[in-house]
Amino acid sequence: MLVAPSILSADFGNLEKDVKEICEGGCDLVHVDVMDGHFVPNLTIGPPVVSAVAKAATKPLDVHLMVENNTFFVDLFAPYKPKYITFHIEEEKHPHRLVQHIRSLGISPGIVLNPHTPAEAVEYLLSDLDMVLLMSVNPGFGGQSFLPLVIEKTKRMKALIEKTGSKALIQVDGGVNNKNVKELEAAGCDIVVAGSYVFKQEDRKAAIDSLK
């Protein structure tokens, strides 16, 4: 299981230290939650902070956009060279075009699905994606409870990925801990995002190891 700690739950007064600890602790990606106060009722970070995170990180960045104007934000964060940028299917009129745009910038494109959005919503995009992110909470805040519906949805997405011959990885985000990670793994999840679970523990390496 690959692990992407979400820095949303880090100590923003000591962000450099927290980013270094998760990287040294063996995380695979550094998950960066970008919220605009419109698509979700919360506001997080912009280019100055992402720039600081990129400098501190020794693992690739995974930028999760929760915003209204996706293309604007893709272009805003592309200079920091994230490995992945994912955007919400619910907020994009032309997802296929945006996927191509992200790839043209040398970044791996991914699409995020809110809890209510069926797996089939991205069926015809799968062959162009490197990642599909299934939300297991309503986007906007860390520390929420895991929605078990994502287990069935992960299985369904895995079947669609196999059917279409896609190479997309399945990522699950929200309320992940060392208990539900086992069910996620069995369902076909490749990467878990974990915010509060990782950052509430003093020993970040032990927290990451327990998810792996």
Residues that are catalytic: 33, 173
* Residues 41-80 interacting with Zn ion (rule: CB under 5 A): 64
Separation CA 102–CA 85 (nearest Å): 7
174's contact among Zn ion, ligand DX5, none, with CB below 5 to 8 A by partner kind, is ligand DX5
Least distance (Å) from Zn ion to the CB of residue 162? Answer: 25
Nearer to ligand DX5, 162 or 169 (CB): 169
Q: What are phi and psi of 129, to 5 degrees?
A: -105, 150
Nearer to ligand DX5, 25 or 174 (CB): 174
Range 177-184 contact pairs with CB under 8 angstroms and sequence separation of 24 or more: 177/146, 178/210, 178/211, 180/146, 180/148, 181/1, 181/211, 183/151, 184/1, 184/150, 184/151, 184/154
Strands 2-5 and 191-194, how do they pair? parallel
Look-up of token digits 């809110």: 114
- Residue 134's closest CA among 187, 211, 208? 187
Residues 6+ apart with CB under 8 A from 155: 187, 188
Residues 6+ apart with CB under 8 A from 56: 15, 16, 19, 20, 23
Q: Assess 196 for contact with ligand DX5 (CB under 6 A).
A: yes
Among 175, 181, 208, 211, indicate the residue that binds ligand DX5 (CB under 6 A). 175
Among 59, 64, 88, 153, indicate the residue that binds ligand DX5 (CB under 6 A). 64
Site string for ligand DX5, 84-113 (x = CB under 6 A): ------------------------------
Q: Assess 140 for contact with ligand DX5 (CB under 6 A).
A: yes
The three-class DSSP label of residue 56 is helix
Among 134, 137, 169, 170, indicate the residue that binds ligand DX5 (CB under 6 A). 137
* Residues 78-97 interacting with Zn ion (rule: CB under 5 A): none
Least distance (Å) from Zn ion to the CB of residue 171? Answer: 9
Nearer to ligand DX5, 30 or 168 (CB): 30
Q: Assess 130 for contact with Zn ion (CB under 5 A).
A: no
Separation CA 161–CA 193 (nearest Å): 20
Q: Assess 191 for contact with ligand DX5 (CB under 6 A).
A: no
Q: Assess 197 for contact with ligand DX5 (CB under 6 A).
A: yes
Look-up of token digits 């000591």: 14
Residues contributing to the site for Zn ion (CB under 5 A):
33, 64, 173
